[in-house]
């Protein structure tokens, strides 16, 4: 039974200011998407990666990633949608139609290009152990304030029970398909299945799974992962 990673990578990445899709922005000369796909395969658990690319960049994404798959694996590239959820839905439909033995599905952000392979392996193992949905998380280090529309603090949640969510998020294939068919809305895929009545399990994340969204994030990644310290 196959483990398939879905990578929604159709975002334009305006906040990075690079003039190209965020997934293709290089860190020390290597595109984020390339690094993300390499990490997925390096986990030793992923057989297929399905990338939802910007429609205008499908060919270039295919060229950049086709050779990354190990023996017996494959990279599939298709046109993504207008929104992230559209891209995930398209990639999921492709996986379930083209890779019929898909049993576990990961949804991974290309912007989290430096997620350690052991985190990916931990998510897959937890799904294999019987959890329907699994996410990597980190404790919240900062104090969090809840504010109203006027910016006035209305509550201070206890951060002991709060977690920062990372990717990849892992699911039994049928669990994620059912959530997308239900037509619910959420800010991430774990939220979709949660709203569909599924319990979401957590595993430890890692600081290197930072999301690269702004020029500052990019500069941090360039410094942190230079000189082979990855």
Whole-prediction pTM value? 0.94
| Predicted local distance difference test score (pLDDT) of residue 13 | 67
Contact of 42 with 69, CB cutoff 8 Å: no
Give the whole-number percent of the chain exceeding pLDDT 70: 97
- List beta partners, residue 106: 5, 170
pLDDT digits (tens, 9 = 90+) for 196-207: 999 999 999 999
* Inter-residue contact 105 to 92 (CB < 8 Å): yes
Token pair 């879905």 is at which residue?
6
Tokens for 204?
């430890």
- The tokens for 161 are 């029970």
Look-up of token digits 């949640």:
157
- Backbone φ and ψ of 43, nearest 5°: -65, -20
Q: What is the mean pLDDT of residues 128-153?
A: 97
Rounded to 10°, the helix 32-42/117-128 angle is 50
- Please write the tens of the pLDDT for every residue from 62-77: 988 989 999 889 999 9
Please name which of 204, 9, 177 lies closest in space to residue 121, comparing C-alpha atoms.
204
What's the CATH number for 2-135+164-225? 3.90.550.10
- For the chain, domain boundaries: 2-135+164-225
Confidence of residue 229 (pLDDT cuts 50, 70, 90): very low
* Average pLDDT of every residue of the chain: 93
Judge contact between 77 and 53, C-beta under 8 A.
Answer: yes
Q: Report how far residue 95's alpha carbon sits from residue 88's, in angstroms, rounded to the nearest whole number.
A: 10
- What distance in Å separates the CA atoms of residue 19 and residue 1, rounded to the nearest whole number? 40
CA distances from residue 38 to 43, 116, 179, 196 in whole angstroms, order as listed = 9, 10, 28, 32
């Amino acid at each position: 039974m196959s483990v398939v990673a879905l990578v929604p990578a159709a975002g334009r990445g305006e906040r990075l200011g690079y003039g190209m899709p965020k997934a293709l922005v290089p860190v020390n000369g290597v595109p984020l998407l390339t690094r993300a796909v390499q990490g997925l395969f390096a986990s030793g658990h992923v057989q297929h990666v399905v990338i939802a690319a910007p429609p205008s960049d499908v060919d270039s994404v295919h060229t950049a990633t086709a050779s990354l798959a190990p023996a017996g694996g494959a990279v599939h590239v298709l046109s993504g949608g207008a929104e992230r959820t559209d891209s995930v839905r398209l990639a999921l439909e492709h996986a379930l139609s083209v890779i019929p033995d898909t049993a576990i599905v990961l949804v991974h952000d290309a912007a989290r290009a430096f997620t350690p392979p052991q985190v990916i392996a931990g998510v897959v193992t937890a799904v294999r152990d019987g959890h329907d949905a699994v996410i990597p998380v980190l404790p919240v280090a900062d104090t969090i304030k809840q504010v109203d529309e006027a910016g006035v603090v209305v509550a201070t949640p206890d951060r002991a029970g709060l977690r920062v969510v990372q990717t990849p998020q892992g699911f039994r294939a049928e669990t994620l398909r059912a959530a997308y068919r239900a037509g619910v809305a959420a800010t991430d895929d774990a939220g979709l299945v949660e709203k569909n009545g599924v319990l979401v399990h957590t595993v430890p994340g890692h600081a290197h799974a930072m999301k690269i969204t702004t020029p500052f994030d990019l500069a941090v990644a360039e410094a942190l992962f230079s000189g082979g310290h990855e």
